[in-house]
Structure 1
Amino acid sequence: MSRYLFHRAWQSLLTLFLATVVVFLGVRALPGDPALALAGEDRSPAVLAAIRHQYGLDQPLPVQFWRYLTNAVQGNLGTSIRTGTSVTSMLRTALPVTFELAALAIVFASLVGVGAGVTAAVHRGRAPEWVANAVALIGLSVPNFWLGLVAILYLSVATGLFPASGFVPLSSNPVDNLHHIVLPTVILGIGLSAVIMRQTRSSMLDSLSADYVRTAKAKGLKPRVVISRHALRNSLIVVVTIVGLQLGALISGAVVTEQIFGLPGIGKMTIDAVFQRDYPVIQAVVLVTATAYIVINFLVDLLYSLIDPRIRVGAGAA
């Protein structure tokens, strides 16, 4: 186990380092000069030179990267070129919003997707499977931004059931927080629930035709016990993999949903940073997202052995 953990640790650090290098070079390849945006109307050479020197933009790229890397290791992600505030403090404000949205969306998608997938597999060839497949197809085909706009039009503007935009912190008022976050959660989770449903159905069909399930039925176990304790448990490996990968994707992919519903998460912060060529903010968001991917994938590997005791996390470690 310890050998496996060490093996995954250095792989994760290498992946994170390479992602940091790619993003550092990529954001500087974007057209435009942040010094021009900060200078405003006074774009004299002296002012531009002073701005570049203040933010270290006049240094060679290797020097800029080394300074950024050493500061990041110490927890200092720099200062926003656009606002002049600490990037770390900006992340402290924005990340809880995005994490809450992604976590609730993954819970919603898992409950709906697994439930619909099991129902479709158990009732194969009958009406419940047709309904589940039709709903999943709609969820995969319709873009989230269109669903969000339709939801705002009918559920917020027309009926007033949910707020059209805004956010209330969970610590301030849990009820208002859920009232504001429930609609974005459903919209963000619909597409993922369709993916989980299709994968759960496919995996459940394989499990239901396996020998151990037929043996469990022959022993006289109730159908509910056979499905929950035998077929579903062995089908969860695929589901956990998808959920783990999609949770990282939701953290970075909630940009459109946050923009539509006016949520002050990292999505809005990232878009503003890209338009303003705010290098420190862009780099910090990607660093956090990459770290989330790495940690989630590691936890998914550990969950495998809990779901299926036949799997040992250290078996394939070199």
Structure 2
Amino acid sequence: MRRYLFGRAWQSIVTLILATIVVFIGVRALPGDPALALAGEDRDPESLRAIREQYGLDDSLLVQFWQFVSHAARGDLGVSIRTGESVTTMIANALPVTIELSILAILIASVIGVGTGVIAAVRRGGPAEWAANGLALLGLSVPNFWLGLMAILYLSVALGLFPASGFVPFLTNPIDNLHHLILPALILGTGLAAVIMRQTRSSMLDALSADYIRTAEAKGLSPREVIGRHALRNSLIVVITIVGLQLGALISGAVVTERIFALPGFGKLTVDAVFQRDYPVIQAVVLITAAAYILINLLVDLLYSVIDPRIRVRGDA
């Protein structure tokens, strides 16, 4: 197990290094000159030279990359070119919003996806399975931005059930916080719920046809015990893996949902930084997203080997 842990940790470090290089080069490949955007109307050569010198824009790419990596290793992600604010502070303010939204979306998607997946597997061939498959197909097909706009139009504007936009910190007012986040979390979790439903259904069908299920039924266990304690418990191994992987995807994929509902999370921060050619902010948000995704994948791999006792890491005794 120790050898496996070392190998996975080393792979994650190499992946993070490669992701850092790709992020740095990709940001520099964006069209436009940040010095021109920062100078505004005052674009005389002297002003542009001073701006480039102040932010190191005239240095070679190798020097800029080394400065970026060395500062990031110490927790210093630079200063925003547009606002002059610390990028670390900006991310510390935006990241909790996206994390809370993603976790809430995961919870909603898991409840809906696992529930409908179990029903579809148990009621195979009946109207319940057709309805669950139809909802899953709908959730995978409908874009989040359209579903979000429709939800705002009917549930917020027409019925007044949820706020159309805005955010309230959890510590300020927990009830109001959930009231603002429940609708965007539901929209964000729709596609994930469809994926979880399909995987749960497939895993449940495999489990229900296994020998240990027939043995449990022959022992006289009730259908609820057979499904809950045996079939579902083993089926959730795959589902947990998918949920863990999708958490990283939600953190990076919440951009559209956050923009629609005007949430001050990673989405707004990223889009604003791209439009303003704010290199330090773009680098930081993309790098942190990549690091979070790599870390979550590592934890999922490790938890998978712990959750499923049938897994034996190669080389273990």
TM over 0.5: yes
Deviations 1:289-310 (A, max 9, x none): 1111122112212222343212
Letter in 1 for 2:7: H
Aligned to 1:232: 232
**Structure 1 SS opposite 2:30:** coil
Summarize the alignment of residues 69-148 of structure 1 with structure 2, pairs less than 5 Å apart: 69-148=69-148
Aligned to 1:315: 314
Quote the Cα distance in structure 2 between the aligned partners of 1:291 and 1:2.
22
Aligned to 2:18: 18
Aligned to 1:255: 255
Q: Is the 8 A contact 1:234 1:307 kept in 2?
A: no
Aligned to 1:180: 180
Quote the Cα distance in structure 1 between the aligned partners of 2:294 and 2:108.
23
Aligned length: 316
Letter in 2 for 1:112: I
Q: Is the 8 A contact 2:273 2:281 kept in 1?
A: yes
Deviations 1:19-75 (A, max 9, x none): 010010011111100000000111111111111111111000000000000000000
Letter in 1 for 2:291: T
Summarize the alignment of residues 127-276 of structure 1 with structure 2, pairs less than 5 Å apart: 127-276=127-276
Aligned to 1:57: 57
Question: How far 1:253 moved relative to its partner?
Answer: 0.3
Quote the Cα distance in structure 1 between the aligned partners of 2:226 and 2:307.
16
Question: How far 1:214 moved relative to its partner?
Answer: 1.1
Q: Does 1:302 pair with 2:302?
A: yes
Question: How far 1:316 moved relative to its partner?
Answer: 6.3
Letter in 1 for 2:314: A
Aligned to 1:67: 67
Q: Is the 8 A contact 1:233 1:307 kept in 2?
A: no
Letter in 2 for 1:36: L
Q: Unpaired runs of 5+ in structure 1?
A: none
Q: Is the 8 A contact 1:113 1:194 kept in 2?
A: yes
Aligned to 2:31: 31
Q: Is the 8 A contact 2:98 2:251 kept in 1?
A: yes
Q: Is the 8 A contact 1:236 1:307 kept in 2?
A: no
Please report the TM-score for the alignment, with normalisation by the length of structure 2: 0.97
Aligned-residue Cα RMSD (Å) equals 1.2
Letter in 2 for 1:223: P
Quote the Cα distance in structure 2 between the aligned partners of 1:295 and 1:207.
30
Question: How far 1:4 moved relative to its partner?
Answer: 2.1
Quote the Cα distance in structure 1 between the aligned partners of 2:78 and 2:175.
35
